[in-house]
Amino acid sequence: MSINGHDDRLIEGVPLLGLNQVSAFFKKAVKNTKIIVKKEAKIITIARRVIEIEAETVLSLKDSIDEGFVDCVNEIFQSTGRLIITGIGKSALIANKIVATLNSTGTPSIFMHAADAIHGDLGMIQQDDIVLCISKSGETPEIKVLVPLLRSTGNTMIGMVSKKDSYLGKHAQHILHTPVSKEADPNNLAPTASTAAQMAMGDALATALLALRGFTPSDFAQYHPGGSLGKQLYLRVNDIYPNNERPVVFEGDNIRKIILEITSKRLGITAVLNSAKDISGVITDGDLRRMLESENDLSNLNATDIMNQNPKTIGGDALAVKALEIMRKYSITQLLVVENSKYLGIIHLHDLVREGLI
């Protein structure tokens, strides 16, 4: 056997490595590990710096919320037309998002791509519409072609731009100023901080208009009927509980009747009513288990011996999300649904899960 050379013996068919080869292998592994660790640290540093730059850019927009911003909001609020929002490149993508936010909060808006506008889409602009043109530099060729065309229509034009002294800044009637000292990428080229600023300014605009319109949660629900968000705003207990069984026993019913009612209705609960059919209490499957643990003789027990006399209830007109709030507060999974103290039925936590509220 050679100490520094190859060992000709085999271990399960694999030649043994010499000491030099083993040493070289571990040196390479250590070097690669250092490279990986160094890359990880660099990635973290870059990503954190991006967040810092974008956060600083967005925060600096506070100084742009001034009389000029107020003029833009009032112009849009008082308009009887729509807000047409246009842009090119990444600004066009931001424009699309702002349009979606405005439409969902009560300000009718339409997206118009700046390149398509000069090839026929200008025809979508109506007499009372306002045009919001988004551009970081305010100097792109498409914008320079579009701006004179927009001015010729006589529509009010708002420029969302980084530089007030740009072509767009000089020709727009109103300015939404989104100053950007630098982009967040290492080359100061990719739209990053600038698009973050545009997005934030668009949200500020939409929120200010929302407040002026007195936009309520009910209005929001009207525009968001789908998904869990919409259901939180419009789905009511009355929409849910009628699909469930209506478990009920009376005060004098025995343990057998109670168990059968809870088991057959499969809601883990039953209401207890008196002779006038008013609610006396409630019995859950947990109450039954606790009773079985503490009582040896079950023959003489009836509903009044087991029930909770202070059941948690909710009205049918209440929002379903309110039922969820009560269940979470008291760590329970069912509520009695009542109207004028009369028992209507049961709403269960599983109902709310099924509706996507959880």
Tokens encoding 118: 């000069």
Q: What is the pLDDT of residues 56-114, one digit of tens each?
A: 999 999 999 999 999 999 999 999 999 999 999 999 999 999 999 999 888 999 999 99
282, 288, 292, 298: CA torsion to nearest 10 = 60
How many whole angstroms from its chain centre is CA 229?
8
pLDDT category at 49 given cuts 50, 70, 90 is very high
Q: What is the pLDDT of residues 149-168, one digit of tens each?
A: 998 889 999 999 999 999 99
261, 263, 264, 267: CA torsion to nearest 10 = 90
Tokens encoding 125: 């602009």
Three-point CA angle 7, 11, 15, nearest 5°: 40
Domain ranges of the chain: 61-215, 237-354
Contact between residue 132 and residue 85 where contact means Cβ atoms under 8 Å apart: yes
Range 61-215 classified under CATH 1.10.357.140 = no
Q: At what angle do helices 193-212 and 90-104 cross, to 10 degrees?
A: 20
pLDDT category at 11 given cuts 50, 70, 90 is very low
Helix/strand/coil percentages in the chain, nearest 5: 50, 20, 30
Q: Which residue has the higher pLDDT, 220 or 151?
A: 151
Hey, what CATH topology would domain 237-354 get? CBS-domain (3.10.580)
Strand 109-113 to 83-87 pairing: parallel
Spatial separation of the C-alpha atoms in residues 300 and 358, rounded to whole Å:
42
What is the mean predicted confidence (pLDDT) over 255-262?
92
Tokens encoding 43: 């990635």
